């Protein structure tokens, strides 16, 4: 990769998204950051896909909805989602008493936060490198 | 998360952007150290070169290969044997190293003939070995030797051999990480897909970014085999050359060290559609989750669960013995690239340690993102530190132990900070459930070593204190503040495994699982 060109890019500060359930989203975000690795692939397009697929499947598991496992890639996202959903239920029991709509809103807020921290607000200058 | 300026580096103002202290409520979007940039002139870096990163870190753990450097003998000598990546074929790749021994006259007249002569000589000296990797160095890159052409010539003349050429001279990147990148891409471009493997089971993985430091790979492969998983290749510790040519046939890439090997995983996903699963082989909970995920992917979660239950029951009481005695001890976590994030959170959770600093010599900003995300408030994160910054950080943070490589480790010892080799390990392996206990045991032994009672006394001084209090053992030092319940616990115990936890795995017989597909 071109380190010189990467170094020359200065990212503008992006404002963090705001959500009514911010305190709870903070807790869920911190758990991912401390215990997971899937959110830190090296390029922005991979991070977008990882965040979208794994958090979508986590939300479906938490809501008791069917999960698409039709491809090997789906299964790979799903295994990370299963562990995350189980840990959320264990460490944050308040999630078990939420309605599907509330979980949906919470998980959308979580995805927005993760996208901000790992992609749009990230200061990592290699995210936009076109090659692996 | 403000940038941190070292007193010793005020004369190098660019260095300020390479260190941050994680503040309360601050996130990765507030500050991140610069990373993977050319070392700033005037800062004496502890980095390796791109040749070292390709050959020493990634290439040479392959076990059934003659690894030859095309260049001065010093390049090969300095990348020989200093990292303990053992193998199950009597450590062939550690015992021997090869160089074309380029001299001044070859720089003037060219060294291609010398290279060809050396290749043939090496194959004749070891007729049982039919595979070779050749590494470019600065000198031969600058004179323009065409290694690929020579390799092709030899392969035409000796059709039974196969040769891989790695063009990653020392200057081909800011650090060893540039070499990791180059050899990843070179391997998939040149070699993946050139061998069709025998598939023996329903569940087939590549185990990627694992270098078998003191047997790490063998511990993890033991778990995989007990689950009925075929490990097609390991990239690259204890891995075979032809196994790695067959990586395209795996169902899943299981990735440990993303710093050194995510490139090939990403390319395998794009070119061959193989998913990438990042795992943690260190720590009980991360390892258990990792085995469970792999099990779920293949629909054999029950097999993973049986292994986890057995291993946790066997080793948890020993891990907890050390945790009680390591609680609150301050750690500077200064390893290479991946271990700073593999270990940052889990050594706090499972060993009770407190990480006060993370650093990486050659990591990228992505590694710092992972490391800082896993650390608590107040942690000092440093990119590509020089020796003076390291000393200043030790003075400021006053850690109880430093986990690092042998160069900064020896410096730390001089200022009486206990050091544990996080790079090649002291008494590994450290992966696996038993390995994690061995790691805790080594940390405990380092922190409470009785030698520190003596090493602090300067006997050159006339008024040096007399040694009158008697000698205190390691356990006398560690158990003084423990409750009676912990000190006299009948469930907690020290490590009871053997000196060698790896050789026995090579004799193990594995269950045969019936195949579902032909």
| Contact across the interface for B252 and A72, Cβ inside 8 Å | yes
Quote the ipTM score.
0.95
* Whether pLDDT at A2 is above 60: no
Mean per-residue pLDDT over chain B, rounded: 95
Sheet of B131-136: strand order equals B98-99, B66-70, B131-136, B162-166
Under a CB-based contact definition with an 8 Å cutoff, are residues B184 and B176 in contact? no
pLDDT band at B517; cut points 50, 70, 90: low
Domain B202-308 sits in CATH 3.30.560.10: no
Tens of pLDDT, residues B395-405: 999 999 999 99
B483 burial (CB, 10 Å; 0-12 / 13-18 / 19+) is: exposed
Chain B residues with CB inside 8 Å of A115's CB? none
pLDDT band at B449; cut points 50, 70, 90: very high
A33 in contact with chain B, both atoms CB, cutoff 8 A: yes
Mutation for testing the B interface, residue in A4, A9, A33 having most B CBs under 10 Å: A33
A35 in contact with chain B, both atoms CB, cutoff 8 A: yes
Q: How many residues are present in chain A?
A: 132
Domain span including residue A34: 17-121
State the greatest distance between any 2 C-alpha atoms of chain B, in Å, as a whole number: 81
A78 in contact with chain B, both atoms CB, cutoff 8 A: yes
A116 in contact with chain B, both atoms CB, cutoff 8 A: yes
* Whether pLDDT at A66 is above 50: yes
Nearest chain A residue to B368 by CA: give it: A124
DSSP assignment of B241-286 equals: HHHHHTGGG-SEEEES-HHHHHHHHHHHHHHH---EEE---SSHHH
Phi, psi dihedrals of residue B21, rounded to the nearest 5°: -115, 125
A80 in contact with chain B, both atoms CB, cutoff 8 A: yes
How much of chain B exceeds pLDDT 90, in percent?
89
pLDDT of A11 reads: 63
Tokens describing residue A41: 């692939």
Cβ neighbors of A99 (< 8 A, separation 6 or more) are: none
Under a CB-based contact definition with an 8 Å cutoff, are residues B344 and B260 in contact? no
Indicate left, alpha or beta for B81 from its phi (over 0: left) and psi (-120 to 50: alpha): left
Mutation for testing the B interface, residue in A6, A76, A121 having most B CBs under 10 Å: A76
pLDDT band at A3; cut points 50, 70, 90: very low
- Number of Cβ within a 10 Å radius of residue B424: 16
In a domain, A6, yes or no: no
- Give the bridge partners for B98, in sequence order: B68
Give Rg (Cα) of chain A: 16
Nearest chain A residue to B273 by CA: give it: A73
* Whether pLDDT at B81 is above 80: no
| Contact across the interface for A124 and B34, Cβ inside 8 Å | no
Under a CB-based contact definition with an 8 Å cutoff, are residues A115 and A51 in contact? yes
For residue B57, the SS3 value is: helix
Cβ neighbors of B144 (< 8 A, separation 6 or more) are: none
* d(CA B448, nearest CA chain A) in Å: 29
DSSP assignment of B177-235 equals: HHHHHHHHHHHHHHTTTSSPPPP-SS-EEEEEEE--BTTHHHHHHHHHHHTT-EEEEEE
Please give the average per-residue pLDDT across A55-69, as a whole number: 98
In a domain, A5, yes or no: no
For residue B21, the SS3 value is: strand
A2 in contact with chain B, both atoms CB, cutoff 8 A: no
Please give the average per-residue pLDDT across B242-252, as a whole number: 98
Chain A residues with CB inside 8 Å of B173's CB? 3
B493 burial (CB, 10 Å; 0-12 / 13-18 / 19+) is: exposed
* Whether pLDDT at B111 is above 70: yes
Mutation for testing the B interface, residue in A118, A119, A123, A127 having most B CBs under 10 Å: A123
In a domain, A10, yes or no: no
Q: Indicate if B202-308 has the same CATH topology as B48-189.
A: yes
Q: Report d(CA B306, CA B103) in Å as an integer.
A: 58
Specify the CATH number for B48-189; select among 3.30.590.10, 3.30.43.10, 3.40.50.1980, 3.90.950.10. 3.40.50.1980
Chain B residues with CB inside 8 Å of A16's CB? 27, 29
A128 in contact with chain B, both atoms CB, cutoff 8 A: no
* Whether pLDDT at A29 is above 50: yes
pLDDT of A10 reads: 56
| Contact across the interface for B297 and A46, Cβ inside 8 Å | no
B312 burial (CB, 10 Å; 0-12 / 13-18 / 19+) is: middle
Tens of pLDDT, residues B46-76: 899 999 999 999 999 999 999 999 999 999 9
| Contact across the interface for A123 and B27, Cβ inside 8 Å | no
Higher pLDDT, B470 or A10: B470
| Contact across the interface for A34 and B296, Cβ inside 8 Å | no
Chain A residues with CB inside 8 Å of B209's CB? none
Chain B residues with CB inside 8 Å of A76's CB? 252, 275-277, 297
* Whether pLDDT at B132 is above 80: yes
Residue closest to B282 by CA, chosen among B109, B403, B162: B403
State the greatest distance between any 2 C-alpha atoms of chain A, in Å, as a whole number: 51
Nearest chain B residue to A15 by CA: give it: B29
Please give the average per-residue pLDDT across B105-114, as a whole number: 97
pLDDT of B518 reads: 55
CA atoms within 13 A on the CB side of B341: 27
Q: H helices within chain A, ranges in order?
A: 3-8, 22-35, 44-62, 72-91, 100-115
Sheet of B380-383: strand order equals B19-21, B380-383, B354-360, B330-334, B401-404, B419-421
Nearest chain B residue to A5 by CA: give it: B37
Under 8 Å CB pairs connecting chains A and B tally to: 106
In a domain, A130, yes or no: no
Under a CB-based contact definition with an 8 Å cutoff, are residues B321 and B438 in contact? no
Chain B residues with CB inside 8 Å of A61's CB? none
Q: Report d(CA A58, CA A72) in Å as an integer.
A: 17
Tens of pLDDT, residues B1-49: 689 999 999 999 999 999 999 999 899 999 899 999 999 998 988 899 9
Mutation for testing the A interface, residue in B205, B373, B377 having most A CBs under 10 Å: B373
| Contact across the interface for B373 and A33, Cβ inside 8 Å | yes
pLDDT band at A7; cut points 50, 70, 90: very low
A1 in contact with chain B, both atoms CB, cutoff 8 A: yes
Q: Report d(CA B438, CA B426) in Å as an integer.
A: 9
Chain B residues with CB inside 8 Å of A125's CB? 365
Chain A residues with CB inside 8 Å of B369's CB? 40, 118, 122, 124
In a domain, A51, yes or no: yes
Helix axes B284-298, A72-91, angle to 10 degrees: 140
Q: How many domains does chain A have?
A: 1
Under a CB-based contact definition with an 8 Å cutoff, are residues B163 and B119 in contact? yes
A129 in contact with chain B, both atoms CB, cutoff 8 A: no
* d(CA B453, nearest CA chain A) in Å: 37
Please give the average per-residue pLDDT across B163-183, as a whole number: 97
Tens of pLDDT, residues B193-218: 999 999 999 999 999 999 999 999 99
Tens of pLDDT, residues B278-331: 999 999 999 999 999 999 999 999 999 999 999 999 999 999 999 999 999 999
pLDDT band at B467; cut points 50, 70, 90: low
A37 burial (CB, 10 Å; 0-12 / 13-18 / 19+) is: buried
Give residue limits of the domains in chain B.
Answer: 48-189, 202-308
Residue closest to B131 by CA, chosen among B179, B169, B93: B93
A67 in contact with chain B, both atoms CB, cutoff 8 A: no
| Contact across the interface for B174 and A75, Cβ inside 8 Å | no
CA atoms within 13 A on the CB side of B429: 28
Chain B residues with CB inside 8 Å of A86's CB? none
pLDDT of A21 reads: 87
Residue closest to B96 by CA, chosen among B48, B132, B53: B132
Chain B residues with CB inside 8 Å of A57's CB? none
Tens of pLDDT, residues A76-106: 999 999 999 999 999 999 999 999 999 999 9
User: Residues B243-270, buried b or exposed e (16+ Cβ, 10 A)?
Assistant: bbbbbbbbbbbbbbbbbbbbbbbbbbbe
Tell me the CA end-to-end span of chain B in Å, nearest whole number.
Answer: 57
């Amino acid at each position: 990769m071109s380190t010189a060109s990467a170094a020359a890019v200065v990212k503008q500060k992006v404002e963090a998204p705001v959500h009514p359930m911010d305190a709870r989203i903070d807790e869920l975000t911190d758990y991912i950051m401390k215990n997971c690795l899937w959110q830190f692939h090296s390029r922005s397009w991979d991070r977008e896909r990882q965040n979208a697929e794994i958090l979508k499947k986590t939300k479906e598991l938490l809501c008791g909805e069917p999960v698409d496992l039709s491809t090997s890639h789906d299964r790979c996202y799903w295994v990370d989602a299963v562990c995350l959903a189980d840990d959320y239920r264990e460490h944050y029991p308040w999630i078990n008493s939420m309605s599907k709509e509330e979980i949906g809103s919470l998980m959308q807020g979580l995805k927005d936060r993760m996208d901000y921290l790992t992609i749009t607000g990230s200061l990592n200058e290699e995210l936009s490198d076109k090659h692996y | 998360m403000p940038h941190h300026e070292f007193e010793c580096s005020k004369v190098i103002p660019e260095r300020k952007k390479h260190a941050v202290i994680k503040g309360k409520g601050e996130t990765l979007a507030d500050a991140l150290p610069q990373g993977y940039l050319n070392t700033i002139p005037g800062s004496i870096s502890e980095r390796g070169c791109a040749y070292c990163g390709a050959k020493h870190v990634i290439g040479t753990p392959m076990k059934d290969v003659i690894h030859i450097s095309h260049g001065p003998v010093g390049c090969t000598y300095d990348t020989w044997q200093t990292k303990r990546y053992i193998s199950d074929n009597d450590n062939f790749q550690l015992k021997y190293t090869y160089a074309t021994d380029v001299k001044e006259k070859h720089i003037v007249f060219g060294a291609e003939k010398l290279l060809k002569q050396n290749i043939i000589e090496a194959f004749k000296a070891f007729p049982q070995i039919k595979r070779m990797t050749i590494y470019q160095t600065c000198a031969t890159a600058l004179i323009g030797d065409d290694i690929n052409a020579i390799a092709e010539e030899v392969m035409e003349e000796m059709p039974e051999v196969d040769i891989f050429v790695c063009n990653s001279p020392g200057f081909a990147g800011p650090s060893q990480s540039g070499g990791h990148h180059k050899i990843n891409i070179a391997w998939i471009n040149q070699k993946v897909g050139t061998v069709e493997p025998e598939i023996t089971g329903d569940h087939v993985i590549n185990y990627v970014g694992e270098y078998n430091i003191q047997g790490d790979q063998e511990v993890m492969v033991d778990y995989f085999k007990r689950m009925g998983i075929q490990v097609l290749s390991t990239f690259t510790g204890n891995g075979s050359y032809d196994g790695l040519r067959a990586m395209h046939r795996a169902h899943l890439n299981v990735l440990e060290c993303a710093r050194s090997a995510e490139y090939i995983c990403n390319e395998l996903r794009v070119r061959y559609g193989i998913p990438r699963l990042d795992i943690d082989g260190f720590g009980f909970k991360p390892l258990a989750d990792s085995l469970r995920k792999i099990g779920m992917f293949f629909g054999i979660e029950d097999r993973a669960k049986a292994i986890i239950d057995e291993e946790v029951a066997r080793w948890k009481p020993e891990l907890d013995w050390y945790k009680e005695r390591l609680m609150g001890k301050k750690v500077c976590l200064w390893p290479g690239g991946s271990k700073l994030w593999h270990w940052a959170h889990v050594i706090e959770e499972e060993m009770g340690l407190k990480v006060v600093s993370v650093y990486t010599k050659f990591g990228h900003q992505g590694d710092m993102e992972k490391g800082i995300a896993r650390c608590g408030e107040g942690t000092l994160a440093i990119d590509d530190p020089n020796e003076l910054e390291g000393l200043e950080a030790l003075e400021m943070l006053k850690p109880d132990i430093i986990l690092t490589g042998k160069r900064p480790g020896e410096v730390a010892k001089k200022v009486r900070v206990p050091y544990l080799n996080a790079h090649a390990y002291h008494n590994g392996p450290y992966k696996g459930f038993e390995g994690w206990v061995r790691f805790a045991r080594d940390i405990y032994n380092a922190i409470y070593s009785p030698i520190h009672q003596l090493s602090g006394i300067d006997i050159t001084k006339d008024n040096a204190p007399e040694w009158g209090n008697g000698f205190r053992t390691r356990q006398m030092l560690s158990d003084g503040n423990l409750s009676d319940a912990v000190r006299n616990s009948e469930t907690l115990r020290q490590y009871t495994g053997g000196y060698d936890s790896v050789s026995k795995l090579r004799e193990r017989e594995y269950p045969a699982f019936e195949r579902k597909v032909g």
